[in-house]
Structure 1
Amino acid sequence: MREYSVEALVEIADDDTLTDMAYAWAHADPDRAVLDEVTCGRFAGMVRAQAKELIAAGVRRGDRVVVLGPTSVAWAVADFAVLSVGAITVPIYPTASAEQIDAVLRDARPAACFTVPDKRALVAGAVRSEVRVWTLGEPAEGIGVDLPDAVVDERRAEVGADDIATIVYTSGTTGTPKGCVLTHRNILAAAGNVVALLPELFRGTDGGDRPSTLLFLPLAHVYGRVVLFGCVAAGTRTGLVGSPNALLSALPSFRPTFLVGVPYILEKIRKAARARVGEGPDGEAGAWVRGLLGGRLTHMICGGASLDASTLDFFTRTGLTVLGAYGLTETTSTVTMSAPSANRPGSVGRPVPGTTVAVAEDGEILVRGPQVSPGYWPDHAGGAPDEWVRTGDLGELDQDGYLRITGRRKEILVTSGGKNVAPAPLEDRLRLHPLVSNCMVVGEGRPFVTALVTLDRTALGEWRGSDLDTEIAAAVDSANALVSRAESIRRFRVLEGDFTVEGGQLTPSLRLRRAVIEKEYAAHIEAMYLH
């Protein structure tokens, strides 16, 4: 078994907590803009006021408090307030179905909830009558205003690094949602070591522009939460965008210096460039992309899924450095990270400081470190920093510690002829066609590989009059060029609808829920194997 360790760059004391950063900046630089131009002083004041409301409403240390809504300052205020009183934040995705919301509420048994107006009745109807339900971003209700600041300070002083900070419900691509427990120490280790590894991104360099970023990842996902805490800790100017779809319109005016996201965003930008001015990033497309990105963007941390090599090359030639990263909820989203001075394209970087990564004999990636979750709610008697987490992902670790993801154990397809097929490279390449919105490769236990394809409705107008099947067939041929004949897609079916988070076919991090899709489109799949 090959393994590689990197020494930690930050130390966490037993009394350190996630809320320390907000109050420290309010004291050190109260006029510094931190979130959507809200200053550090004002942000800490908003957090303290919300914390007083929670205390007055009877929320105790260890109670669970649900936060359901899009990425926003109000979401961040609620989160920091919950943590300030020693309670536990339970995020729910704003796109979650009624059944998913109900499942989390039943399991977490919250003492209070923050939600958006259109979900308020649903949430209120699913919890006990005595549970207070606030609407995110609405003015304070007036309770707790007479409490002295010392009451919040006393509650904060009771919290320690090993107390539970959050329970993140994740079902991944299959299964019933499970509540992954993360402590203050877990998140401090993940965020702190990434900031320490990438000071030029988060803190800037002497004489350079003040670092800034647009955070569009959902705060209900641990990836987005860790980025938020890292940005607040570093004092990074951070704009909050409610959804990935709103990012493109926000980029030119905000002009971030770096981004943190997933390959989907880069694919979306590349498609937009191709539609406007054609490919060729060395010419018009490159200029258009640089203008869209605001002219100051130099780096993007890209994790969450695989990135097609041609997309990586496209953005590299526009001057953007893409830093690969890898993690999962159980490791507080943080396992490996590339750095500007140690970037090996095609890899997802080396272990984040404080982390050990190994690859077992069967190829599975193993992880240990201070960001490892102690287990699942409610018993959370599981992993520990000195125990291996089995990720379920497959990879290769070179002698310099760079990790390459080669597949996912549960997503490797084995045809009836015994051929192992990794679907991700085929799917990544197919999605690059302007007409393709999403796709899923099928072939487990089948004689050959097929694909379900959905169309990008916004692109259809530009392709009116074209033979769509011929265009998609060309995209399939391009993908097949990456693999052997035995692994290639033999047939495909274009679907009427699309795969969406709201429809349940995608996870909130935009990964395919393969079992759901296979069940929903079983008739289409069978038809591809009938003749």
Structure 2
Amino acid sequence: MQLIEQITAYAAQYPTRNALVGLRGLETGGSTKVNSNSDLSYAQLFGALDALASGLQRQGIEVLGLFADNGPEWLLVDLACQQAGVTLVPLPGFFSAQQLEHTIRASGMQALLTDDCERFTPLEPVGEALGELAGLTLIEIPQATRVALPAETAKVTFTSGSTGTPRGVCLANETQYATAAALAQALVELGCARHLCLLPLATLLENVAGAYTCWLLGGTVIAPSLEKLGFHGSSQLDPAQLCRCIDECQPDSLILLPQILKLLVAQVRLGQWQAPPSLRFVAVGGGKVSPELLRQARTLGLPVFEGYGLSECGSVVALNLPGADCPGAAGRPLPHCEIRVCDGEVQVRGPRYLGYLGDSGVGSDMDGDWLATGDLGAIDKDGFLHITGRKKNLLISAFGRNISPEWVESEILLTPMLLQCVVIGDARPHCCALVFPLPGTEDAQVDRWIQAINERLPDYAQIRNWARLPAPLSFDDGLLTANGRPRRDAISHRYAESIETLYGESHAVL
């Protein structure tokens, strides 16, 4: 059963059951930012999305942009677009003005909904406000040019590319539903009835694996503002505020990125937080997770399970589960897809994307029905998928040894005193690392930690020398991708001269 049909059925069967909950934002500087403080039952959710879908159809909108904070409004617009047959283009909050202008033109959107008009009024393609829908301002794009999107494109979601312009992935509703249905099938026995949306809703992982899956299970989706969750800007997070929000919401399930899991583990180890007993399942994905971090999290009361997916496949394709778990692996394939490893590269067959924004169709990453992911991996005898790194990131040492930098970085970043790490060593006799420590960390502390990690690594992957980064890597300076992964070529170019010194010194400050 498709998502809208399932919500309709629940509205008839359980009309008073909570479907969508919003929370009031934090008071800062004497002002309060309100996302929504109203709970919507399934009957109310059905009525609200039906009314909003009719409003979109009356406006004659075919492609709609959405730039808004997390909250019920965001999810209502998403659902209403599906019901009205409108293509939705979620705009991530980290986009620059140049990226916003490019996306507005490239997608052919005729209008956009936003809670932040100031971000758009200076942009050349943007016109006047047409009014309000779902509590958001509807802005006209007067010179919109019709774009030939792939047939059945329901959503254009953005994934990190190798350049400063993330790629728009065109998805059908059916592909998103297939992922959510497979996850609901896998999680039904856990009884997860309350899901807290912790990641930005413009992230496909959160709206498909989080909200959609919860609704297919008849549960309650909790959608606080990002400020309420402790997020500030595109990359700052207050872990204490995040923990307070989790305690207030008492969710059954969460989805985390590895760096957020690391912060939560640190809060527990410092005695500043304890995971609520309501938590039954915490999924972590979006990057390599150290098995040791997973073990630490579980020992401290966080029921964490690693998964793996990609936007081109509608999000999650493999997941560890209670009773089917292998720490360090990405899990077994979900029932809606197949996974194989060909020449060391992970390939997936099943529901997939329709093409990229601006492209004529699915590109050269397809081998028949199989999608080449660009990820390196292996499948063990028990059917668990192990991701070892990115194909394009593979380091080949001067002695011919293949080294996945993500593997070594995940080990080094186990300590809370190191916030960022980039391993280098392609065509070099050994590996070195660029690190950004927690302020106040002394060189001797970093030395001791790296020596301890080296004892767990084979000699060809050990870190012989390291250097401090002068400032944290960020998306804004072009050194991180949209989802926080290092842009290795850009980093190597930026710090080329200093990297050369690493191969003659024990450590350095760049």
Bin for the TM-score computed over the shorter chain: 0.7 to 0.9
2:409 partner letter? E
CA distance in 2, matches of 1:218, 1:212: 17
Residue 198 of structure 1 aligns to a residue whose secondary structure is helix
Residue 164 of structure 1 aligns to a residue whose secondary structure is coil
1:236 aligned to 2:219? yes
Counterpart of 1:376 in structure 2 is 356
1:4-153 pair list within 5 angstroms:
16=2, 18-36=3-21, 37-59=39-61, 63-117=62-116, 119-122=118-121, 125-127=123-125, 129=127, 138=135
Change (3 A) 1:478 1:43: farther
CA distance in 1, matches of 2:486, 2:58: 43
1:114 partner letter? L
2:219 partner letter? T
1:128 is displaced (CA, Å) by 5.1
CA distance in 1, matches of 2:50, 2:41: 14
Contact 1:355 1:368 in 2 (8 A): yes
1:19 is displaced (CA, Å) by 3.1
CA distance in 2, matches of 1:380, 1:318: 49
1:262 is displaced (CA, Å) by 2.1
Q: CA offsets per residue over residues 61-119 of structure 1, 9 Å max, x none?
A: xx221112332211111212222221111111111122222221221121111223165
More strand by share: 2
Counterpart of 2:188 in structure 1 is 199
1:491 is displaced (CA, Å) by 1.8
2:354 partner letter? P
Q: CA offsets per residue over residues 443-480 of structure 1, 9 Å max, x none?
A: 223333221111335xx4xx6xxxx1111122222332
CA distance in 2, matches of 1:199, 1:380: 39
1:20 is displaced (CA, Å) by 2.9
2:463 partner letter? I
Q: CA offsets per residue over residues 318-354 of structure 1, 9 Å max, x none?
A: 3443222111111111211222232222221111102
Instruction: Pick 1 or 2: higher relative contact order, CA cutoff 8 A, min separation 6.
Output: 1
Unaligned runs of 5+ in 1: 1-11, 142-161, 205-209, 278-287
Counterpart of 1:266 in structure 2 is 261
Q: CA offsets per residue over residues 184-231 of structure 1, 9 Å max, x none?
A: 110110001110111033xx2xxxxx6212111222122112122111
CA distance in 1, matches of 2:399, 2:367: 41
CA distance in 1, matches of 2:481, 2:97: 15
Change (3 A) 1:249 1:386: farther
Residue 327 of structure 1 aligns to a residue whose secondary structure is strand
1:455 aligned to 2:437? yes
1:530 is displaced (CA, Å) by 5.9
Taking structure 1 as the reference length, the TM-score comes to 0.80
1:228 partner letter? A
Contact 1:112 1:133 in 2 (8 A): no
Taking structure 2 as the reference length, the TM-score comes to 0.83
Q: Alignment RMSD, CA only?
A: 2.7
Say how many residue pairs are matched. 462
1:385 is displaced (CA, Å) by 11
CA distance in 2, matches of 1:72, 1:43: 14
Change (3 A) 1:379 1:95: closer
**Which range is displaced more, 242-251 or 441-450?**
242-251
Change (3 A) 1:28 1:119: farther
Residue 347 of structure 2 aligns to a residue whose secondary structure is strand
2:438 partner letter? D
Change (3 A) 1:356 1:27: same
CA distance in 2, matches of 1:456, 1:266: 17
1:367 is displaced (CA, Å) by 0.6
Counterpart of 1:476 in structure 2 is 450
**Which range is displaced more, 326-335 or 23-32?**
23-32
CA distance in 1, matches of 2:137, 2:493: 46
Counterpart of 2:24 in structure 1 is none
Change (3 A) 1:319 1:385: farther
1:519 aligned to 2:493? yes
Contact 1:168 1:180 in 2 (8 A): yes
Residue 478 of structure 1 aligns to a residue whose secondary structure is helix
Counterpart of 1:413 in structure 2 is 395
